Amino acid sequence: MQILSESVMKNSVSIIFFLLLFCQILAQKTLMVEKIGTTRRYFFKEEDYCKIRAARPDTMIAGKLWDIGANSITISSMRPYQVRLQDITSVYKKFYFPTKFGRLIGIGGVGIFAIITINHLINNEQVFTPDMFIISGSMLALSAISLSLSEKRCRIGNSWKVKILDIRIR
């Protein structure tokens, strides 16, 4: 009985090993935006958020990366748009930490403003005071700065290139 369970275990381990190996062989394609001469590279895989500016038609397309073909990509926003690699003029890379930080600081600034306003109303004090505008205004300014720096524009041309890789980069 124990010999049977050892052979079953060996077979199941070998099947799992071959399935994992097979999954790596059939990996998805990856869109890579790289700066020539440096080590800066941004990778996009399917279902990632992608924002690009295309030359034909001259539009800004933002949405999920639906499909990566041999020489074109499909971005799905309201409807899927297929864009050739030669028509891409800019790719916008979104950094999630500054976006999240900016949103949280903005919510905090509005919250502090509301709390100070309610406190002044309860205590029968002057509602709008300089400290209220300094604290909440500085938080809202920090939020605006963080949100404006959360996206990098990569102009495709002499310094930035778009490539499609046949391997999956995590």
The three-state (H, E, C) secondary structure of 95-112, written as one string: CHHHHHHHHHHHHHHHHH
Given a cut of 90, is residue 166 above it in pLDDT? no
> pLDDT above 90 covers what percent of the chain?
65
pLDDT of residue 9: 67
Query: CA angle, corner 41, sides to 39 and 45, nearest 5?
Result: 155
Given a cut of 80, is residue 161 above it in pLDDT? yes
Q: Please give the DSSP secondary-structure letter assigned to residue 156.
A: B
Q: Note the pLDDT tens digit of each residue in 31-79.
A: 999 999 999 999 999 989 999 999 987 899 999 999 998 889 999 988 8
Given a cut of 90, is residue 13 above it in pLDDT? no
CB count within 10 Å of CB 88 equals 21
CA nearest 46: which of 27, 71, 26, 28? 28
Question: Tokens standing for 67?
Answer: 């499909």
* Average pLDDT over all residues of the chain: 87
pLDDT of residue 29: 86
Given a cut of 70, is residue 21 above it in pLDDT? no
Given a cut of 60, is residue 1 above it in pLDDT? no
Query: What does the alpha-carbon distance between residue 119 and residue 126 come to, in Å, rounded to a whole number?
Result: 10
Number of H helices, E strands in the chain: 3, 9
Strands 160-165 and 88-94: what pairing? unpaired
